[in-house]
Amino acid sequence: MIKAVMMMNTQGKPRLAKFYDFLPVEKQQELIRGVFSVLSSRPENVSNFLEIDSLFGPDSRLVYKHYATLYFVLVFDGSENELAMLDLIQVLVETLDKCFSNVCELDIVFNYSKMHTVLDEIVFGGQVLETRSDEIMKAVEEISKLEAASNSISLVPKSVSGWRGGR
Amino acid sequence: MEQLKTIGRELAMGSQGGFGQSKEFLDLVKSIGEARSKAEEDRIVLSEIDILKRKLLEPDIPKRKMKEYIIRLVYIEMLGHDASFGYIHAVKMTHDDNLLLKRTGYLAVTLFLNEDHDLIILIVNTIQKDLRSDNYLVVCAALNAICRLINEETIPAVLPQVVDLLNHQKEAVRKKAIMALHRFHRKSPSSVSHLISNFRKRLCDNDPGVMGATLCPLFDLITEDVSSYKDLVSSFVSILKQVTERRLPKSYDYHQMPAPFIQIKLLKILALLGCGDKSASEIMSMVLGDLFRKCDSSTNIGNAILYECIRCISCIIPSPKLLEAAADAISKFLKSDSHNLKYMGIDGLGRLIKISPDIAEQHQLAVIDCLEDPDDTLKRKTFELLYKMTKSSNVEVIVDRMTDYMISINDNHYKTEIASRCVELAEQFAPSNQWFIQVIMNKVFEHAGDLVNIKVAHNLMRLIAEGFGEDDDDADSKLRLSAVESHLQIMSEPKLPSLFLQVISWVLGEYGTADGKYSASYISGKLCDVADAYSSDETVKGYAVSALMKIYAFEIASGRKVDVLPECQSLIEELLASHSTDLQQRAYELQALLALDARAVESILPLDASCEDIEVDKDLSFLNGYIQQAIESGAQPYISERERSCMLETTDYHSQDHHEVPSHALRFEAYERPKPSSLPTQASTELVPVPEPSYYSEAHQPISTSSVSERESSEIKLRLDGVKQKWGRPSYQSSTSASSTPPQAANGTSSHPDVGVGSSSLKPRSSYESKKPEIDPEKQRLAASLFGGSSTSRSDRKSSSGGHKPAKGTASKPPKENPIPVQPPPDLLDFGEPTATSVTATDPFKELEGLMDSSSQDGGSTDVMGVLYSDAAPVTTTTSVDSLLSELSDSSKGNPGTYQSQTSKGPNSKEALEKDALVRQMGVNPTSQNPTLFKDLLG
């Protein structure tokens, strides 16, 4: 099971953090900081895996990938395959790339709720739900359409039907 | 530049409407992004919180604005600030009809609330409604929310709807409904136990995505109960086959691999189902073979599948062909340049050597490369592999490497782990005692002393005390001398761990002057230095004082004149007034001892008696006359143990005097008289008064001086009958060895069991391989020493591995099976004059030999070490005197009134130890006794 998904920049600022079991805010912060301090001390060109029992309890592994200014981090337990998780990060990034065409840190910062939407389509309750980025895109776009439609609700009342447009 | 880019993005976002963020939010994000310090960021967030608090109070907030505020709340909470003031608004938003707002509401509550939060109750109704919605996006949003928000109590409220959704026309909904059910199952298996068949049904869903999703719950279910899913083996195999044959729609391909995530999940399930099942393994071997052939090892995901195949093969009963394929895949991983693949290779190797131990040999150089790799993760994984393949032939090299690494890292968590692994390996495979002491003492203790378990220290002391266990006193004294020497050397280093200092003090006290190389004043000076340098550590001080006492006792006993160094004198004086009753008592005892004559001292603290056994008179039958007298004069008779047991259980030793049968209500009747506790034959009433009656204190002087401290612990050691043997084979041998080892009669006439004294061979095994040509000789050597034992000859290895496996079992299992905790050997040798006579003349090593002989017959010499070092060998007491005293103090503790005066002023000791002792007391029932003991002692 996937325990957490995190994105943080190379200065350690969290850009997105989702924990699949509830944790109090302070604990979340502690973990984010802990993960960052481990990641930032890793040299280049080493493996993308870490065993971090000390932070997340026994049998916890972490896979991370470093893209430009961002760390993508997945924390999971022994029932997942490390290499596959690495590819899940790849899926996430590919999808984001399609969403934002050439994704960069700013896109993630400024599209906070959309990020969550994308992530929810990929990982659901700690399990991998979907890995086909086309499918993910489809789902996200349907919601985006609604966004656009409902944004205009306040301006143009006629698009009431818009929120049913997703069907 | 960055700035410009930001503005550009912002404009673009503003024009496209994006995901509907307002200018304020973007400003917030931007200013936080540009914050130079954490303090600045905090300031920005705090002012943002102020703004939001104010704005949320405004009446009639437009909904779009509200959504915006909520996103801002989520954001500031992600940055680690409390946004609870806005939770209720997020909850309200979930009630909205507009899907967009609803989704935002759900997103916020799933991030804000835990499943037991009070506000959840306000959401459940909405979720129920949404699950029935016509709009599948609404349904998806609700399903998403229930994964996080529903707890055991609320599951029934949504369960029917979720089950209905399993047949929803949209596959996305079916998928999520399955996942939600899976989540329920994780949270509360009982609530969905009747629905498990649904998972099986969904496995046949015509949408591969839904089928793939079903594998997640099935994996969990099969992990819990393999046997009831055996019938699915062929279905899983055929699904996997279809997937690998690309029968799925093209859209499921990922990097040219057909549905890799589904394949991986299937392989995980097959590994579970094939574990130890020959027929199931055969069914799947075909498809596994295909996978090895088809997998594209040039992509990451292809390697992920390959690794999963290796893992699967290491679980099932594989055919030789499959094993070969797995070994090939592993060697490809290890040869790769990618650290990730090397990591997987090492991991796979660690799994595969369990079934085919030879495989490690081919990769020795690759393994050594990984060990020297700068990548910490890889290094640790390699250490894990080495740990798994340690045997007596390579233990020195491996433990050496491990300790070096342990010293080099700062991560306390991992340091502890690797230290305990070192100790475990050293205990199991140590080739010689000298080596064991050097490694454990000098390296592990010095660098991770505060991290290792206390019993390691006690094992070390016992080892030094017992020596080789052979009939070789020479070697023993050499060993001790080397321990003393290296300790004296290390002592001068600053800031040693407390545990290590305790060991040092004990060793110096026990053997510091033993062979005359060091003078008593030299050693005692050193001990005073320790007590001075670590004056805040009472345990160390206690050990140091006890060690001093032993030094002086040995001096007096050998007829030399003792001159107490001025610094010792001042130390004693300081401790006489110590706040710690333990230290105070030790100091008083030391002082008293200095005044005694040689004969008395010799019987109190005999030389090198730490391994002797002591027979304890449990019944205190010498008191019978006294009791008779007491009963005649009207005292109450003894109350049996059972009657007191409930009281005993809750007894806190320290608060004996306050302790009554716990009562929660006011009591109006008079308090009953204090009940006698565990001194079996004593009537307590007479003894209650706190100022001791003179006759009593006279008679029991030894008892009162004997500290009730940490000593009660050793009691168990004497009690071999009924206790599971830890030496040799646990089951059938236990009776024989138990009967051969019980302590001898206390009056000195030892009936020493001379069972099978055959010197078991404990030769150091450093069967290093001769070098092989080619490649870096340094590495070669390392490889040879790591893998050497195995490459020499197959039969050799087999016999050796066959040899120490049972040893492992016997050495490590018994402690688990045995409920009695391993007690810390008591704090050593305080006093109690009378005990000396009780010390048996048994040679402990002889006894050991008997034991070792039996255990070495089956295990080969390796086992002996393993067994020897396995903690808690109950046969040997570390200090004989203690055991007796502890016995006494034990009983005195049980008796609230009687010994109160002593308990309060004397011994003290730590709570933990007492609890420990209590547990032990529960576990072992005193049975045997020797009535003559105390007559001897007390005259």
pLDDT at position B747 over 70: no
List chain A residues with CB under 8 Å of B269: none
More confident residue, B634 or B921: B634
Question: Who among A54, A106, A116 is closest to B9 (CB)?
Answer: A106
Question: Which of B264-278, B286-300, B598-612 has the weakest average pLDDT?
Answer: B598-612
Q: How far is A116 from chain B (nearest CA, A)?
A: 8
- Per-residue pLDDT tens over the stretch B662-671: 445 566 666 6
- Whether A46 and B147 lie within 8 Å, measured CB to CB: no
Question: Which of B137-146, B304-313, B359-368 has the weakest average pLDDT?
Answer: B359-368
Q: Is B19 near chain A, with CB under 8 Å?
A: yes
Q: If you measure CA to CA, which chain A residue comes closest to B339?
A: A47
Q: Is B768 near chain A, with CB under 8 Å?
A: no
pLDDT at position B176 over 70: yes
- Whether B98 and A47 lie within 8 Å, measured CB to CB: no
What's the mean pLDDT when you consider all of chain B? 72
Eight-state DSSP code of residue A108: H
pLDDT at position B858 over 60: no
- Which H or E element spans position A51? strand A49-51
Surface-to-core class of residue B818, CB atoms within 10 Å of its CB (0-12 exposed, 13-18 middle, 19+ buried): middle
Find where tokens 């509360």 sit: B188
Question: Which of B108-117, B202-211, B370-379, B757-766 has the weakest average pLDDT?
Answer: B757-766
pLDDT at position B298 over 80: yes
pLDDT at position B19 over 90: no
- Interface predicted TM-score (ipTM) of this complex, two decimals: 0.88
Q: Which residues pair with A17 in a beta bridge?
A: A6
What are the residues whose beta carbons fall under 8 Å from the beta carbon of B199, sequence distance 6 or more?
B178, B181, B214, B217, B218, B221
More confident residue, A150 or B547: B547
Average pLDDT on B593-603 reads 80
- Per-residue pLDDT tens over the stretch A94-107: 999 988 888 888 88
- Per-residue pLDDT tens over the stretch A10-69: 888 888 999 998 888 889 999 999 999 989 888 888 889 988 888 888 889 999 999 888
Residue A158, pLDDT score: 38
Q: If you measure CA to CA, which chain B residue comes closest to A61?
A: B377
Q: Is B695 near chain A, with CB under 8 Å?
A: no
Residue A148, pLDDT score: 72
Long-range contacts of A35-42 (CB under 8 A, 24+ apart): A35/A6, A35/A8, A35/A62, A35/A73, A35/A75, A36/A8, A36/A12, A36/A71, A37/A12, A38/A62, A39/A64, A39/A71, A39/A73, A40/A10, A40/A12, A42/B376
Residue B15, pLDDT score: 39
Q: In degrees rounded to 5, what are phi and psi of residue A66?
A: -105, 115
Tell me which residue of B39, B32, B77, B73 sits closest to B53, measured CA to CA: B73
More confident residue, B880 or B204: B204
Q: Is A13 near chain B, with CB under 8 Å?
A: yes
pLDDT at position B886 over 50: no
Tokens of A144: 């985006």
- Per-residue pLDDT tens over the stretch B219-267: 999 999 888 899 999 999 999 999 999 888 888 888 888 899 999 999 9
List chain B residues with CB under 8 Å of A81: 264, 268, 304, 307-308
Q: Is B209 near chain A, with CB under 8 Å?
A: yes
List chain A residues with CB under 8 Å of B26: 110
Question: Who among B5, B176, B300 is closest to A106 (CB)?
Answer: B5
Tell me which residue of B921, B918, B850, B829 sits closest to B612, measured CA to CA: B829
pLDDT at position B770 over 60: no
Q: What's the start-to-end Cα distance of chain B, in Å?
A: 97
Question: Which of B138-147, B190-199, B594-603 has the weakest average pLDDT?
Answer: B594-603
Which A residues, 15 through 44, put their C-beta within 8 Å of a C-beta on chain B?
16-18, 20, 22, 25-26, 28-29, 42-43
List chain A residues with CB under 8 Å of B254: 87, 91, 131-132
Taking each helix axis from N to C end, the angle separating B136-149 and B155-165, rounded to the nearest 10 degrees, works out to 140
Q: Is B61 near chain A, with CB under 8 Å?
A: no
State the Cα–Cα distance between residues B269 and B280, nearest whole angstrom. Answer: 12
Q: If you measure CA to CA, which chain A residue comes closest to B75?
A: A112
Q: Is B5 near chain A, with CB under 8 Å?
A: yes
List chain B residues with CB under 8 Å of A112: 19, 21, 29, 71, 74-75
pLDDT band at B610 (very low <50, low <70, confident <90, very high): low
Q: What is the Cα B335 distance to its own chain's centre?
A: 35
Question: Who among B62, B183, B300 is closest to A87 (CB)?
Answer: B300
Average pLDDT on B411-440 reads 80
CB environment B223-240: b (16+ within 10 A), e (fewer): eeebeebeebbeebbebb
pLDDT at position B789 over 50: no
- Per-residue pLDDT tens over the stretch B511-539: 877 777 788 888 888 888 888 888 888 88
- Per-residue pLDDT tens over the stretch B143-164: 999 988 888 888 998 999 999 9
pLDDT band at B108 (very low <50, low <70, confident <90, very high): very high
Residue B732, pLDDT score: 43
Radius of gyration (Cα) for chain A, nearest Å? 17
Residue B165, pLDDT score: 92
State the Cα–Cα distance between residues B34 and B267, nearest whole angstrom. Answer: 47
- Per-residue pLDDT tens over the stretch B346-369: 999 999 888 888 887 888 888 888
Q: In degrees rounded to 5, what are phi and psi of residue B887?
A: -55, -45
pLDDT band at B14 (very low <50, low <70, confident <90, very high): very low
Q: Percent of chain A at pLDDT above 70?
A: 89
Q: If you measure CA to CA, which chain B residue comes closest to A130?
A: B209
Question: Which of A110-124, B120-134, B144-158, B592-606 has the weakest average pLDDT?
Answer: B592-606
- Per-residue pLDDT tens over the stretch B642-687: 777 655 555 444 444 444 444 455 666 666 666 655 444 444 444 4
Residue B531, pLDDT score: 84
Residue B911, pLDDT score: 59
Average pLDDT on A105-132 reads 87
Which A residues, 129 through 148, put their C-beta within 8 Å of a C-beta on chain B?
129-132, 134-135, 139, 142-144, 146-148
- Whether B71 and A112 lie within 8 Å, measured CB to CB: yes
Q: What is the Cα A21 distance to its own chain's centre?
A: 15
In total, chain B counts a number of residues equal to 939
Q: Is A159 near chain B, with CB under 8 Å?
A: no
State the Cα–Cα distance between residues B661 and B682, nearest whole angstrom. Answer: 20
| Cα atoms in the Cβ-side hemisphere of radius 13 Å centred on B135 | 21
More confident residue, B25 or B473: B25
Residue B471, pLDDT score: 56
Q: How far is A133 from chain B (nearest CA, A)?
A: 9
Q: How far is B268 from chain A (nearest CA, A)?
A: 8
Q: If you measure CA to CA, which chain A residue comes closest to B264?
A: A81
pLDDT at position B494 over 50: yes
Average pLDDT on B699-712 reads 42
Sign of CA dihedral B23, B27, B30, B32: negative
Residue B390, pLDDT score: 84
List chain B residues with CB under 8 Å of A28: 80
**Interface A:B, Cβ pairs < 8 A:** 192
Find where tokens 């020797």 sit: B930
List chain B residues with CB under 8 Å of A51: 377, 380-381
Question: Who among A20, A29, A88 is closest to B80 (CB)?
Answer: A29
- Whether A46 and B377 lie within 8 Å, measured CB to CB: yes
What are the residues whose beta carbons fall under 8 Å from the beta carbon of B234, sequence distance 6 or more?
B283
Tokens of B189: 């298996």
Q: What is the Cα B542 distance to its own chain's centre?
A: 27
Residue B647, pLDDT score: 58
In total, chain A counts a number of residues equal to 167
Q: How far is A73 from chain B (nearest CA, A)?
A: 15
- Per-residue pLDDT tens over the stretch B117-132: 888 888 999 999 999 9
pLDDT at position B885 over 50: no
More confident residue, B761 or B164: B164
- Whether B264 and A84 lie within 8 Å, measured CB to CB: yes
Tokens of B877: 């007491």
- Whether A146 and B137 lie within 8 Å, measured CB to CB: yes
List chain A residues with CB under 8 Å of B147: 124-126
- Per-residue pLDDT tens over the stretch B558-587: 777 777 788 888 888 888 888 888 888 888
Q: Percent of chain B at pLDDT above 70?
A: 65
